[in-house]
Amino acid sequence: MANVLKRQAKEHATFKELCIGLAQKMHVADVVLRSKLTPTKFSQTIRPLNESRAVESGATILSEAFVFGVTGTVVVWETLRQRQKELDRRDQVTQDIAFLQSEIEELRAAIDKQKNQSQLLSDLQHELKLINFRLSSGK
């Protein structure tokens, strides 16, 4: 796709002008930045790039911007997808925990009921032993 952009920049007039303008601005910014980073005693005049070099440079900038934009979009999309996947996983874990907690409460209630029934049976067994003892001692 980047190569298609470069080829289109050379063939279409409007796209060519866009590339030339972009390349000239980038060239000026590059020369100014370099002159500030490496100060010299001499002032330097900035000569514009020739047309073919400007078209090539502008097309390269646009194609690299396109590739960077597509790559950045894919990275952002994948990050959002992974985040949503993690949120869904957390929601599922929360639901599972809530379900297990309700199951635990139901089991506790069942155990309490069984304890009460066991205590009742124990009391009845004790009463039966007393009745048997009274019956056997009364004979």
Q: In the structure, what pLDDT confidence band is assigned to residue 51 with cuts at 50, 70 and 90?
A: confident
Higher confidence at residue 7 or residue 30? 30
Question: Per this entry, what is the length of the chain?
Answer: 139
Mean pLDDT on 129-137: 88
Higher confidence at residue 113 or residue 50? 113
Higher confidence at residue 70 or residue 9? 70
Q: What is the pLDDT of residues 89-100, one digit of tens each?
A: 999 999 999 999
Q: Name the residue ranges covered by the structural domains of the chain.
A: 2-105
Evaluate if residue 123 carries a pLDDT over 90: yes
Mean pLDDT on 3-15: 78
Residue 41: what pLDDT? 67
Residue 121: what pLDDT? 96
Contacts of 17 (CB under 8 A, 6+ apart): none
Q: How far is Cα 115 from Cα 53, in angstroms, rounded to an integer? A: 91
Residue 11: what pLDDT? 80
Rounded (10°) angle between helices 51-138 and 13-37: 80
pTM of the predicted model over 0.85? no
Residue 57: what pLDDT? 86
